[in-house]
């Protein structure tokens, strides 16, 4: 192995480590947002909001590493696909962190202004499906598992269907509750969209092909 390749592998390892760290933080953020929402836990909601700065910083660090690797080593083939996809992946993770922050901010507002708030049970179902999708995405990323990435990508249909049901689930809810249900569902649906993007990047890294071409 040449010195240049050795230096490249070192930067590559750093990039993978930072991505893994970001995946872990975003997973924690979404799961804490779910628990804080279900229990109107203000302390946990504030932790989610605080965590957002750390996620944003990691996104910027990963972008800097990617740009440095491209400038210094001029990677080709799968190496190039990985570093470009890494930046896209980090951006999707950062956006998921933003949505977790949105959940937490709404939870704080509800705890202060609508402590009697009873969400649609479909919201809890949707949270569960999104967390399951996130866990599978993390597993597909860490194992570089193309089949699991495709399987997880397909789960977006379930999320979309729940989103439609929540938007049509109007009976027995006060107007403020209806609006909050719709807003929570919108954030969760967008998290699922970002997860499908990540699954597409996983497939692209490993195969150089668009995920849809494998269906």
Greatest mean pLDDT among 7-11, 121-125, 170-174, 211-215? 121-125
Mean pLDDT to the nearest integer, 162-171: 85
In terms of C-beta density within 10 A (0-12 exposed, 13-18 middle, 19 or more buried), how is residue 209 classed?
exposed
Maximum CA extent, the chain: 69
Q: Cα–chain-centroid distance for residue 180? A: 21
Q: How confident is the model at residue 1 (pLDDT cuts 50, 70, 90)?
A: low
The closest alpha carbon to 195, from 89, 63, 53, 102, belongs to: 89
Per cent of the chain over pLDDT 70 is 99
Cα R_g (the chain), whole angstroms: 19
Domain total for the chain? 1
Q: How confident is the model at residue 197 (pLDDT cuts 50, 70, 90)?
A: very high
Backbone CA torsion sign across 116, 121, 122, 126: positive
Q: What is the CATH number of the domain that holds 47?
A: 1.20.58.220
Give alpha helix (H) positions in 74-207.
Answer: 77-113, 121-143, 146-154, 156-168, 175-207
pLDDT in tens, 76-115: 888 888 888 889 889 999 999 999 999 999 999 999 999 8
Greatest mean pLDDT among 9-18, 96-105, 162-171? 96-105
pLDDT in tens, 24-54: 999 999 999 999 998 999 999 999 999 999 9
Query: What are phi and psi for residue 75, nearest 5 degrees?
Result: -65, 155
Q: Cα–chain-centroid distance for residue 145? A: 17
What is the Cα–Cα distance from 164 to 148, expressed in whole angstroms? 26
In terms of C-beta density within 10 A (0-12 exposed, 13-18 middle, 19 or more buried), how is residue 112 classed?
exposed
Residue with tokens 């690797």: 69
Q: Which domain holds residue 95?
A: 3-214
């Amino acid at each position: 192995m040449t010195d240049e390749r050795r230096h490249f592998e070192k930067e590559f390892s750093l990039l993978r480590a930072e991505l893994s760290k970001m995946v872990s933080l975003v997973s924690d953020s979404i799961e804490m947002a779910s628990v804080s929402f279900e229990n109107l836990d203000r302390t946990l909601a504030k932790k989610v909001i605080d965590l957002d700065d750390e996620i944003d910083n990691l996104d910027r660090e990963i972008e800097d590493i990617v740009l440095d690797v491209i400038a210094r080593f001029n990677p080709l083939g799968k190496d190039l696909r990985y570093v470009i996809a890494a930046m896209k992946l980090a951006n999707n993770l950062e956006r998921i962190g933003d949505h977790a922050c949105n959940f937490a901010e709404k939870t704080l507002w509800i705890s202060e202004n609508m402590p009697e708030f009873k969400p649609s049970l479909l919201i809890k179902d949707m949270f569960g499906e999104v967390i399951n999708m996130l866990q599978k995405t993390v597993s597909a990323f860490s194992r570089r598992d193309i089949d699991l990435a495709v399987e997880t990508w397909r789960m977006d249909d379930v999320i979309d269907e729940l989103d439609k049901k929540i938007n049509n689930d109007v009976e027995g809810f006060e107007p403020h509750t209806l609006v909050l249900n719709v807003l929570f569902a919108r954030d969760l649906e967008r998290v699922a969209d970002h997860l499908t993007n990540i699954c597409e990047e996983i497939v692209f890294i490993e195969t150089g092909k668009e995920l849809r071409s494998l269906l």
